[in-house]
Amino acid sequence: MNSLSKWLFLIISAVAITIVVTTGCSSLGGSLDREDEMLYQKSKNFNSEKKVFENRIPDINERWKKRVYTYAAFKEFLFTGENRRPNEKLPEQKPEIDKFLSNKDNPQVIWFGHSSFLLSLQGKTILVDPVFSASASPWRFLNKRFQPPVLSLKELPVIDYVLISHDHYDHLDMESIRFFGDQNIKFLVPLGVSVHLRKWGIDKNKIKEFDWWDELQLENFQFVFTPSQHFSGRALFDEAKTLWGSWVINSQNYNVYFSGDSGYDTHFKEIGDRYGPFDIAFLECGQYNEKWKEAHLMPEDTMRAFVDLKAKQLFPVHWGLFDMAIHAWNEPAQKIYALSRQQKAQVVIPQIGEMIDLNQKYETKVWWNQL
């Protein structure tokens, strides 16, 4: 990092700290105390000396940060890229929740954009990484969503389980979590993330924390928290204080994988070997860049992961709602659809809010090119 970049970083940090201090931003969540750190030291993924969680390759994040934390990269992010946000409202379908819940024999899904989706499996509802706020940041004027949610939180059905992949703002949303505070919901989260939920009023007895490869049998489901290659943090000085990962949701008649955020690594094949084949894989494809490919999947890596997981259907997520990279908003869909055609892979790319019966063959319509 050159001197100009350091000064720029310090100025931005000072401004951010000032805003946080003056606004008392509760969305930052909680902080690990000494008791928490002592507990997490039992994890093989926790560095007791540095007091942080680590990836399989401990220094992998330092590699891409050397490319990203520069003045040139900062300037590129601010001033380059075309069509990063759509010029008009994306097509959406308002789901009929009664109809969504009526067919308990077939697995159903509704995608809300980015990485938020609702599953109906064997009469239970599973809400994944719910983000219903106006923006994915501590402040509403930063990282605004393209359009309002297709359903409000009040319009959602009764939720049985909420799954969180990691604590970044585009995956863990204070407003959404607080809404569920007084409901009879089980929250399944990575190690450390419970400190945020508890600060926002969630009873600790409703929260179950997971380390990588932890398994839990609940009713007719097996939930497994599996690895990813990423990082965590909601403030300037809490990076990697909580764990990140992916999820396996295995019901009696359907097997689901959700990648969370991840760069490509050997964990996809290991998960596929241990828990596959999967009926469907919700895989990250969006907000990518060569400069940070260690932390996010490039489209070609999404297809590699899909093959490693031995999945039957690919459902690309982490796109279509936020502007967090310099690629066009619809580029992820264009690229992954083209790759799926080349490799003859079954891909599911619905409109926001569209109800999908996962036992029926889905014919993807190229709606993202018509805007």
> What pLDDT score was predicted for residue 9?
52
> What pLDDT score was predicted for residue 18?
47
Category of 148 on φ-ψ map: left (φ > 0), alpha (ψ -120 to 50) or beta: beta
For 41, residues 6+ apart whose C-beta sits below 8 A from its C-beta are: 48
- d(CA 238, CA 235) in angstroms, rounded, equals 6
> What pLDDT score was predicted for residue 135?
96
> What pLDDT score was predicted for residue 105?
85
> Tens-of-pLDDT digits for all 371 residues of the chain?
455 555 555 555 555 554 544 444 788 999 888 888 888 999 999 999 999 999 999 999 999 999 999 999 999 999 999 999 999 999 999 999 999 999 888 999 999 999 999 999 999 999 999 999 999 999 888 999 999 999 999 999 999 999 999 999 999 999 999 999 999 999 999 999 999 999 999 999 999 999 999 999 999 999 999 999 999 999 988 999 999 999 999 998 999 999 999 999 999 999 999 999 999 999 999 999 999 999 999 999 999 999 999 999 999 999 999 999 999 999 999 999 999 999 999 999 999 999 999 999 999 999 999 77
For 212, residues 6+ apart whose C-beta sits below 8 A from its C-beta are: 44, 45, 225, 226, 227, 243, 245
Residue 311's nearest CA partner among 339, 275, 336 is 275
Write down the architecture of domain 97-369 according to CATH. Answer: 4-Layer Sandwich (3.60)
- d(CA 67, CA 72) in angstroms, rounded, equals 9
- d(CA 168, CA 163) in angstroms, rounded, equals 14
Structure tokens given for 259: 């990648």
In angstroms, the Cα distances linking 197 to 31, 169, 191, 205 are 11, 13, 12, 11
> What pLDDT score was predicted for residue 104?
84
Domain ranges of the chain: 97-369
> What pLDDT score was predicted for residue 13?
54
- d(CA 236, CA 308) in angstroms, rounded, equals 35
Say if CB 47 and CB 58 are below 8 A apart: yes
DSSP alpha helix (H) spans, 80-167: 97-102
> What pLDDT score was predicted for residue 14?
52
> What pLDDT score was predicted for residue 6?
52
pTM of this prediction? Answer: 0.93
> What pLDDT score was predicted for residue 56?
98
Say if CB 224 and CB 173 are below 8 A apart: no
DSSP alpha helix (H) spans, the chain: 3-23, 34-40, 60-68, 71-79, 97-102, 174-179, 194-199, 267-275, 299-308, 331-343
